[in-house]
Structure 1
Amino acid sequence: MSRRPRLHIFDLDGTLIHGSAAPVEISRQLGLLDEIGEVERDLVAGRIGPREYAVRVHALWTDLTEAHVTAAFEAAPWLLGIREVWSEIRAGGDYCAVISLSPSFFVERLLDWGAHAAHGSRFPEIPFTRPVDPMGILSAAAKVEIAGRLCTEFGVALDACIAYGDSLSDAAIFAAVPTAVAVNADHHLAGLATHTYAGSDLREAYELVRPVG
């Protein structure tokens, strides 16, 4: 009997990007590390939610260009082995997707690395001439909703999904799927993960859930 296809769902910030986040790397290119640090601290402390976070980073990035985004993407501290893992997932008949609260204009670049799907918060076109639409900003609950849509699209059951994440925004998706890998995770995922990985190589994390045979 053939094995059922699986959907691997990856978080971006703190998971695929080791010890950092897309907005931080973008802000680094703009010389705004102190400013983004303050916004990040407010988010982590729960003083603001994803929508207010998006409004504030949008306000910081008034001078943002596609060149800044490209530089941030290329310089980000990515885990090793991402493309190799996704290639193996594809070769085995499984699917891989990235679902992140970070801007879609950054997240969608991972389609070129082999992801079947990449979803992020919708920001205006760069350079910004319009405000952020709060309805386009993703939340932890939205990750579960998008995962459900992807399951339908790919013909995968939700109970055949594997989630990879690191923080509170991944708790909902961890609770919704049977297998979850905490990657360099904080205390918010304690007790929710099937497997735990600390390190800098996605190949090692994937080894925890690689199909046998």
Structure 2
Amino acid sequence: MRLVLFDIDGTLVPGASSEARFARYLWDRGALGLRQLLAFAWFCLRYFPRYGRHVMQKNKAYLSGHGKAEIAALARDFVAERLAPSLYAPAVERLRAHQAAGDRVALLSGTPQFIADALADALDVEYAHASLCAVSDDRYTGAPPVRHPYGPTKIDAAEALARQTDLPLATAVAFGDSITDAHLFRVVEEAVAVQPDKRLSEAAEGAGWEVMLDRITAPGKADAQEHGPRY
């Protein structure tokens, strides 16, 4: 039995991030108003000196004023209606294979915890460790997140999951798509780069990490393996 860590955005969820899709879902449901838009804009202005180019990833102010229970319910509907049907099938297949093998699977992501929890339920995954947004009196505020697993801090989150599952991180498997996941990749036994960005692809080649890519069929090469991993 091993601990298996799956990133969400770019790994299980292709294309636009789960959080960006959720914000659009809130807009479509009429749950984003002037208060949330102004709070979002103010966060960018106020915190850009602190976070620089990462300010948008830290900005959860579009949740301002909404109750935790309300957002959790909307997140469950969003995952069922929009996110689950669009998951990257090869990554889900690997997740299912690890579940069938008896491994402990966990979602580890910078997306908000309420999205990770809803997705974990949809995938029958027991553990999820994601961003905790700032709350006061059970309502979200415009403050920076209390916890945001990203880059090197994903190692801290992975160590917390290792303690929670009582499984060593040194024998774990990690799936991710971005060069920021390379920090985590270096401390686990097995790493899988899923549809990696250019920098992670280069790092994977140098480190010998597995790379999962969609089939690229050249003329006369119709027998290429679809979604097959390469090294």
Match among 131, 134, 145 for residue 121 of structure 1: 131
CA distance in 1, matches of 2:113, 2:72: 13
Match among 161, 174, 182 for residue 172 of structure 2: 161
- Give how far 1:54 is off: 4.8
Match among 55, 59, 63 for residue 56 of structure 1: 59
Stretch moving more, 135-144 or 5-14? 135-144
Stretch moving more, 105-114 or 54-63? 54-63
Q: Which stretches in structure 2 are left out of the alignment for 5+ residues?
A: 216-225
CA distance in 2, matches of 1:55, 1:62: 17
Identity rate, percent? 24
Match among 12, 15, 20 for residue 16 of structure 1: 12
Query: Normalization by structure 2: what TM-score?
Result: 0.67
Q: How does 1:1-213 map to 2 (within 5 A)?
A: 5-29=1-25, 30=27, 47-49=52-54, 52-59=55-62, 65-66=71-72, 68-74=74-80, 75-76=82-83, 77-80=86-89, 85-112=94-121, 113-124=123-134, 128-193=139-204, 194-199=209-214
CA distance in 2, matches of 1:153, 1:69: 25
- Give how far 1:16 is off: 0.4
Structure (1 or 2) with the larger CA radius of gyration: 2
Give secondary structure in 2 for the equivalent of 1:48.
helix
Give secondary structure in 1 for the equivalent of 2:53.
coil
Question: What is the count of residue pairs matched by the alignment?
Answer: 191
Query: Normalization by structure 1: what TM-score?
Result: 0.72
**Structure showing greater relative contact order (alpha-carbon pairs closer than 8 Å, 6 or more residues apart):** 1
- Give how far 1:187 is off: 1.5
Runs ≥4 residues deviating over 6 A: 60-64
AA in 1 matched with 2:189: P
Stretch moving more, 107-116 or 179-188? 107-116
Q: Which stretches in structure 1 are left out of the alignment for 5+ residues?
A: 209-213
Give the equivalent residue in structure 2 for 1:211.
none
